[in-house]
Amino acid sequence: MIDRFSYDEFGLFHENATEYGLPFAAPPVVRRVFVEVAPDRRLSALVWKVGEPELVLLHGGSQNAHTWDTVAMALDRPLVALDLPGHGHSDGPGDTPEGQLSAQGNAIDVAAAIRGLAPAAKAVVGMSLGGITTIALWAQAPELVRKVVLVDIVPGIKTERAKHIGDFVSGPPSFASLDDLLERTAQFNPTRSLSSLRRGILHNAVQQADGTWVWRWARHRSSADGDIRPLEAVANRYEPLWAAVEHITVPLLLARGMRAGSVLGDEDEEELKHRLPSAKVTHVEEAGHSIQGDAPLELAALIEQFVFEG
């Protein structure tokens, strides 16, 4: 008999608070909800606090809504963190050529979820694939996007800059143990604490009946996704979204990681400013691509200032 691992997705917030020095008088008020976005298809989301959600947070490829936990705790505002199609607890993507990496397909589903959960949100914050989805969302449903925060992403990034992400995600299809998962994840994230990586794995992987572990997003892998090299394999497919960026009329902030691991270079920042002169760019010196993981408190402060004080 295989011993199944016991996991409480709402029982780890004290670790986030301890690691980043956040107050923790009581666990935050968070609940998981599901929204039907198409017949027999639902997106899942974490709804933080009580009240009209003020923000929508969209994670990157092969991540899930819990990647925002520390950011959400630091913001301390009502918000919604969505699981993109085929990620986290959401159902798989619809019938799109790019599967779970489809910006347009994701945007259709995200729009339906936002209408149901956060129609008056003051901003959409998107990291990596979530940022690409945010741009596509603006093109499809601009009434739902009042401000945009892009986290280390613009359309048309150079594929070689994302190679390390593809190398990590294109690993074994399953792992014999949680320790094996942690070891591989730590190899690709040497600056992150083991406790934060372990939390991320528990939120983003699931133990199967035979005791092995698989990434939640990998359960919805399709032939369209190929080997699931996010950004590296499909970055050139997002190039046409520059046209959508040029037509964005709401305030936009790019938070760019400046440490190794970021997928952006100076030329990407310059292209954004050329395409959208009104765009603001902020450098996060102590972060790579996943700014919400490397510097969550700084990212939360940037969001607070741009969305609510700017």
Active-site pick, 109, 262, 289, 290: 289
Alpha-carbon span 217 to 206, nearest angstrom: 10
Alpha-carbon span 309 to 165, nearest angstrom: 34
Per-residue tokens: 148: 């945009």
Alpha-carbon span 204 to 198, nearest angstrom: 10
Clarify whether 289 is annotated catalytic.
yes
Give bridge partners of residue 36 from the DSSP assignment: 42
Per-residue tokens: 58: 């969209």
> If you search the block for the tokens 């994302």, which residue do you land on?
162
Alpha-carbon span 209 to 213, nearest angstrom: 9
Q: Are 36 and 91 in contact (CB under 8 A)?
A: no
Alpha-carbon span 261 to 128, nearest angstrom: 12
Active-site pick, 152, 225, 268, 294: 152
The type of residue at 299 is L
Clarify whether 128 is annotated catalytic.
yes
Active-site pick, 128, 196, 262, 290: 128
What one-character DSSP code corresponds to residue 14? H
Distances (CA, A) of 168 to 145, 181, 183, 230, 305: 32, 11, 12, 10, 33
Alpha-carbon span 180 to 174, nearest angstrom: 10
Compute CA 90 distance to the chain's CA centroid, rounded to the nearest angstrom. Answer: 13
Q: Considering only CA atoms, which of 11, 117, 8 is closest in space to residue 58?
A: 117
Clarify whether 152 is annotated catalytic.
yes
The residues carrying an active-site annotation are: 128, 152, 289
